[in-house]
Structure 1
Amino acid sequence: MDKNNIKRPKILIVEDRRLTAEDLKETLEGFNYTVCGIAATSEMAIQLAEEKQPDLVLMDIVLKSKKDGIETAHYTRFHLDIPVIYLTAYANKEMLERAKSTDPSGYLIKPFKEQDLYFAIEITLHKHKMESGNKQRHSNNHSQLTEPKQDLTPQIQKISMQHSGNEKRHLFQAMNEIEQRLKNLLYVQAKGRYCQLALDLSQEPCFDLQISFQQLETYCKDSIFLKIHRSYLIIPERALYIKKKNTRDFELWLKGYSSNPISIPVGRSYLPELRNSHPEWFAY
């Protein structure tokens, strides 16, 4: 096969020092990568990332913009699903902790060896390729999402037997609101004294219920919803996979009918039960 016809990985450089960026560009092209752009600010980095869709971003942390490289990486990583390797002269603990929250693929301290950069890039590209394949398989398995059960008769009968007056009316109204929105419901989150429905609808992304999270859990957990966190109930049919967010925390990724996948936290105490009941969510 002609090497010229092989698709070369595209890399976006985010670096506010022009000479440093040009030197890095020359190094990457020597490794046979394509440099699809150089950005000196957060705004330019996001614009180029959206336009060029690089396979990887090499990110400096200190930029000539209000937002630094860590804030920029948060967008490119979680909204565009582009892996990030930090290249920085700064290595203090606070900055490292902030950087870890963006799920980086690497963190190289300047000056670094070209060989270390090459190895970091190759490992990142391979890992992301494998993860993307797993995500695609999960997405294909859920391309025809099963609609949640919409018959709330058992819940309504239970409420009818156990309550009366205003409390019964509020619970009936809440069940009705849930039933109307069930097709587009992603999850329920505790919000102060009450709870909120998160919906897969651009015109109505959320809806507040006038009942407590505990009340909703009492009547709907293990029938419509599954509890994965002390403050979250999910529609199991929406779940794609569970993965580590960082060294300590886990997150569940959900897919609706029209929105891009979104993530919500998973309580560590719920993980053993979830592994038993839904091992397929952990294949990722």
Structure 2
Amino acid sequence: MYSSINILILEDELIIAQDLVEILNELNYQEVFMARNYEQAIALLEQHTIDLALLDINLKAAKTGVDVAHQLRLKYNIPFIFVTSYSDNDTIQDVKQTKPSGFLIKPYTKELVLASVEIALFNFANRNHPEEFVASNSEFSELESSPIVNGYLLIKEKYRFVKVAVADIYWLVSDKNYVEIITQDRRYIVRNSLKKLMEQLPSENFIKCHKQYIVNLKFVSSFTPNSLFVNEVEIPISRSTQEEVLNLLIKSN
């Protein structure tokens, strides 16, 4: 199942908010929700599955973007980027305790919005693998990983990430430096290794049955000592994995 990335914008200046929505839409992020105050932001968080928030620090209200950030950190566990006109040291020191995924300084360009959003999503998804974190915008073009977060595989397509439900993956097959991911709806090609993907996939559902294949056990319709079948497609079982694969298939049936 394919799903869009949902982005929340907290901004009390309507023109600025609409400009940011337009930029995100141009970058193919179509599911964007706008809030003008703390209460609206929390209501949207309760109503929708939000993947990333862009928060204006200074709102013309008692509660600010920093208050929303605290809630995101404590209750919702999603990444957020502060959007502000102020880049002075005092402002940075005041908000850094919330551990934002980035800062976007006004006025911003479409390129900076793109880099900030994708780096925030990538780093959040890889938060348990700090060696893979992206440190700066200069490394943006090197984002080739396909991290898994909240049951979704994040796949980079052109200028955005899309979410693919891990539970809907039929099988994965490697071809040198690329992996093809097959789901019910479509196929995706990512620049990654089968080994890295296997480390992220739930071991109770996925098994590497061959040096080139990983299969979701729940979609296996039949099998022989040397092959298994998913949607009538034959997938080989290597000799080295044969015993483990067959034991798991017998148990799952």
TM-score normalized with structure 2 length:
0.48
- Write 1 or 2 for the structure with the bigger share of strand: 2
Larger radius of gyration: 1
TM-score normalized with structure 1 length:
0.43
- Write 1 or 2 for the structure with the bigger share of helix: 1
Which gives a bigger RCO, structure 1 or 2 (Cα 8 Å, sep 6+)?
Answer: 2
